[in-house]
């Protein structure tokens, strides 16, 4: 079964973590194979807690390397803290001058690791990102890390109220919205008001679990809320710290990029959702939210980012193909078109080149 490759809008491509000191910094992907085995054909790199040893320059270089390897990669500028870290000196300049930048993120809201942004701070940031998006033709949104704080989404609502209608609710795309039942309920009201949100299907010992992501989706569907505004991401290669009531770190894990494939299987095989209900959460919906017109669907003129799913009894096997086509002799051909890939201006045109892999190699052997 051929389906669109997954778009993961929240991947720590440089690694992440660091909440337990330098020794707790989590590693970056070990290679393109880890992402493709997980079904990811398009990723957006992000910085989190640590914007000291992880820099925007580091992030953009890592994204450029992934693009050269054949996957499509973008980036968010900034990190948990405000003002956002940039290469060019401002969010607007970053969106206009850094080809991979799609917006700002992940800005920490209702989290003790952030900068306690005021409504005026968030309004100003949202407006700057919005204008940068207009000038660059990109999404220009603010991707917000939602922490465990009792305020939940209220700081974002206060920012919108402070703007008195100047900023639409879609200027913010909050993530980790499955973190608690209270945040899930707040997210339902956010969706009802026309907003969009992201659920993290991470697998590990962190603050949330895949069951919470699944429960959130059940609630939203039961309420008849528009699931077109919901995306799912993995937070892969980021840390999954657990803090006690006194703010002390008591548990630590690393998010797994393979979570999205397992999430898809769980939603279809265990929750009973139709495949066409689940797939848009990690294909068409993030493509629309990020203004990636040639991503998220299989159609003439779109990028050939294809995920192959093979059903065998109760198990499934998956393989990701990024801009590749089957060739005689059981090989795969990766071809970079001379006209340049998906988004105009994202990568410079370059001569066609080919790279061959036997069909029996790693890309075809990822298992749910």
CATH number reported for the structural domain that contains residue 198 in this entry: 3.20.20.140
Q: Is the pLDDT of residue 275 over 60?
A: yes
The pLDDT > 70 percentage for the chain reads 81
Flag whether 358 is in a domain: no
pLDDT number for residue 364: 34
Nearest CA-CA partner of 54 in 31, 30, 32, 76: 76
Neighbours of 12 (CB within 10 A): 30
| 195-213 average pLDDT score | 75
pLDDT number for residue 104: 98
pLDDT number for residue 22: 84
Q: Is the pLDDT of residue 127 over 90?
A: yes
Q: Is the peptide bond before 83 cis (omega within 30 degrees of 0)?
A: yes
pLDDT number for residue 147: 93
Q: Is the pLDDT of residue 329 over 60?
A: no
What is d(CA 320, CA 139) in angstroms, rounded to the nearest whole number? 26
| 307-325 average pLDDT score | 62
The pLDDT > 90 percentage for the chain reads 64
Identify the active-site residue in 235, 256, 303, 305.
Answer: 235
pLDDT number for residue 209: 53
Q: What is the pLDDT of residues 67-106, one digit of tens each?
A: 999 899 999 999 999 999 999 999 999 999 999 999 999 9
Quick one: pLDDT band at residue 314, thresholds 50, 70, 90?
low
What is d(CA 244, CA 250) in angstroms, rounded to the nearest whole number? 7
Flag whether 310 is in a domain: no
Alpha-carbon distances of 5 from 18, 56, 147, 287, rounded to whole Å: 31, 26, 29, 11
| 5-11 average pLDDT score | 97
Q: Is the pLDDT of residue 337 over 50?
A: no
How many domains does the structure of the chain reveal? 1
Neighbours of 268 (CB within 10 A): 18
Flag whether 332 is in a domain: no
User: Length of the chain in residues, anyone?
Assistant: 368
Q: Is the pLDDT of residue 362 over 50?
A: no
What is d(CA 77, CA 167) in angstroms, rounded to the nearest whole number? 20
Flag whether 281 is in a domain: yes
Task: For residue 357, give both structure tokens.
Answer: 């892999």
| 119-147 average pLDDT score | 98
Q: Is the pLDDT of residue 349 over 70?
A: no
Q: Is the pLDDT of residue 342 over 50?
A: no
pLDDT number for residue 176: 96
| 195-207 average pLDDT score | 76
Task: For residue 329, give both structure tokens.
Answer: 């002799």
Flag whether 296 is in a domain: no
Flag whether 334 is in a domain: no
Flag whether 24 is in a domain: yes
DSSP-derived letter for residue 84 is P
Flag whether 364 is in a domain: no
Q: Which domain holds residue 194?
A: 2-290
Nearest CA-CA partner of 142 in 173, 111, 115: 173
pLDDT number for residue 335: 31
> Catalytic residue at 235?
yes
């Amino acid at each position: 079964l051929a389906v669109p490759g997954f778009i993961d809008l929240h991947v720590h491509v440089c690694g992440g973590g660091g909440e337990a000191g330098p020794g707790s910094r989590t590693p970056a992907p070990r290679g393109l194979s880890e992402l493709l085995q997980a079904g990811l054909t398009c990723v957006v790199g992000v910085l989190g807690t640590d914007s000291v040893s992880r820099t925007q320059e580091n992030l953009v270089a890592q994204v450029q390397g992934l693009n050269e390897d054949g996957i499509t990669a973008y980036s968010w500028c900034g990190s948990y803290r405000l003002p956002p870290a940039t290469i060019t000196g401002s969010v607007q300049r970053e969106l206009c001058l850094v080809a991979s930048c799609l917006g700002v993120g992940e800005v920490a809201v209702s989290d003790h690791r952030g900068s306690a942004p005021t409504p005026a701070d968030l309004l100003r940031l949202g407006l700057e990102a919005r204008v940068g998006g207009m000038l660059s033709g990109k999404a220009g949104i603010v991707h917000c890390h939602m922490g465990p704080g009792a305020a939940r989404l209220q700081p974002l609502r206060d920012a919108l109220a402070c703007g008195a209608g100047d900023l639409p609710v879609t200027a913010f795309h909050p993530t980790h919205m499955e973190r608690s039942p209270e945040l899930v309920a707040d997210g339902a009201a956010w969706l009802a008001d026309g907003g969009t949100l992201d659920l993290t299907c991470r697998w590990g010992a962190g603050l949330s679990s895949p069951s919470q992501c699944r429960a959130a989706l059940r609630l939203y569907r039961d309420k008849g809320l528009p699931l077109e505004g919901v995306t799912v991401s993995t937070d892969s290669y980021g840390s999954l710290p657990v803090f006690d009531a006194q703010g002390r770190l008591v548990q630590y894990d690393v998010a797994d990029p393979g979570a999205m494939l397992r999430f898809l299987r769980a939603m279809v095989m265990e929750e009973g959702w139709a495949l066409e209900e689940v797939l848009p959460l990690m294909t068409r919906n993030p493509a629309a939210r990020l203004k990636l017109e040639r991503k998220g669907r299989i159609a003439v003129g779109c990028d050939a980012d294809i995920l192959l799913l093979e059903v065998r009894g109760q198990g499934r096997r998956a393989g990701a193909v990024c801009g590749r086509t089957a060739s005689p002799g059981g090989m795969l051909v990766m071809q970079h078109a001379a006209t340049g890939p998906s988004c105009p201006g994202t990568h410079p045109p370059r001569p066609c080149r080919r790279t061959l892999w036997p069909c029996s190699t790693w890309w075809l052997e990822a298992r749910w």
